Structure 1
Amino acid sequence: MTIVRQNTLNQTVSPPENLSEKYMEAERMHDVLLLLQNLINSEEATVKLILDCLYDVGSVNLINQKLRLKPLNRVMKLIARMSKPVFKVIAFNWFKKNCPQLITNWLQTQVAFEKPQNTPEQVAIEVVQLEPYAIPQTENLSQEIQNLRFQIRWLAGISITAIAILVVTAIRLN
């Protein structure tokens, strides 16, 4: 029986000054994290206003991109405006929890001044000619598209009806 030893001494040993520099860097980046958390706590109103502006712009752009039908587009924009207070609470909690660390990590990469990893300059791409769909397959695809559009119309109608019922119920309760 032969015993084979693995070589575990391949790790490089850092000089003491590099260790102290790394420790100082970690300590200072932790200070940056604490300062960002303090900034978010003291400037809560500013952060909420920033999130409010981002929600206004992002929701309109997303709805315009995803929904082409004008009536459905308008209804979704109204829903987006009504859901804004809920978004603000959830977004602020997420921001407060995650953003200081994300910003600290990003700032650390900015001050590291490390060279970007070498990427290959040219990548060979093989282009394969595809044959067009056969006629029966294109008919099947167009039928499938029509079915999906029909389902979207139904879902939009059901959503609008449910929202209208919700609004009417809320008005009557008040």
Structure 2
Amino acid sequence: MTIVRRNALNTTVNPSVNTPETLAEKLIETERMHDVLLLLQNLINSEEATVKLILDCLYDVGSVNIINQKLRLKPINRVIKLIARMSKPVFKTLALNWFKKNCPQLITNWLHTQVAFESIQNVPQEVAVEVAELQPYPIPPTENPYQEIKNLRSQVRLLAWISIIAIAVLAVTAIKLN
């Protein structure tokens, strides 16, 4: 094992004394950021159709990009894109629920960091990172290669059946939705 030292940015703000004036400003800041959170939640609830359209567009672009990136074979690529199109209603429902629950707080936090104007000081700080040497994966010797082949064939059959069932379920879902 090796220990590597890296410099990290220390994001500290000038320490200030907690005076009553500073505490009052912090309280007002907290209340106003809570107001921003409530306004964002209200905006998302009132503009739900717009949020759905945004998520729809993001899903179209993101699913095609990730499929193209991960799967290079054209026939498999096309099949997976078809499956991705069929699973879009499920994604929209889950994504809308996630968006309503998490995004107002995430956006509020991001906006707060934008208006905080905190100065970032470049103070080198040593961080110890432990780096382990990789050992190659040991390949166990097989006593009976025919048994191993038999096991692999049974696993392939099992995966084929699981794939067939999954595609059938997606087809039935698509037919019922249409």
TM-score (norm 2): 0.66
Answer whether contact 2:86 2:174 (CA < 8 A) is retained.
no
Structural mapping, 1:1-174, within 5 Å: 14-118=18-122, 120=124, 161-163=164-166, 165-166=168-169, 167=171
Answer whether contact 2:41 2:100 (CA < 8 A) is retained.
yes
**Where does the alignment leave 5 or more consecutive residues of structure 1 unmatched?**
1-11, 124-129, 141-149
Alignment CA distance shift 1:16-1:170 (3 Å)? closer
Alignment CA distance shift 1:56-1:159 (3 Å)? farther
**Secondary structure class of the residue paired with 2:122:** coil
Alignment CA distance shift 1:42-1:154 (3 Å)? same
Amino acid at match of 2:82: L
**Secondary structure class of the residue paired with 1:68:** coil
**Secondary structure class of the residue paired with 1:115:** coil
Query: Partner of 1:5 in structure 2?
Result: none
Alignment CA distance shift 1:52-1:168 (3 Å)? closer
Amino acid at match of 2:81: K
**Secondary structure class of the residue paired with 1:120:** strand
TM-score (norm 1): 0.67
Answer whether contact 1:75 1:160 (CA < 8 A) is retained.
no
CA drift at 1:161 = 3.6
**Where does the alignment leave 5 or more consecutive residues of structure 2 unmatched?**
1-15, 128-132, 140-152
Q: Percent identity?
A: 72
Task: Decide which structure has greater strand share.
Answer: 2
Q: For 1:48 and 1:30, how far apart are their aligned partners in 2?
A: 25
Answer whether contact 1:72 1:156 (CA < 8 A) is retained.
no
Q: CA RMSD in A?
A: 3.9
Task: Decide which structure has greater helix share.
Answer: 1
Query: Partner of 2:149 in structure 1?
Result: none
Q: For 1:169 and 1:26, how far apart are their aligned partners in 2?
A: 47
Query: Partner of 1:145 in structure 2?
Result: none
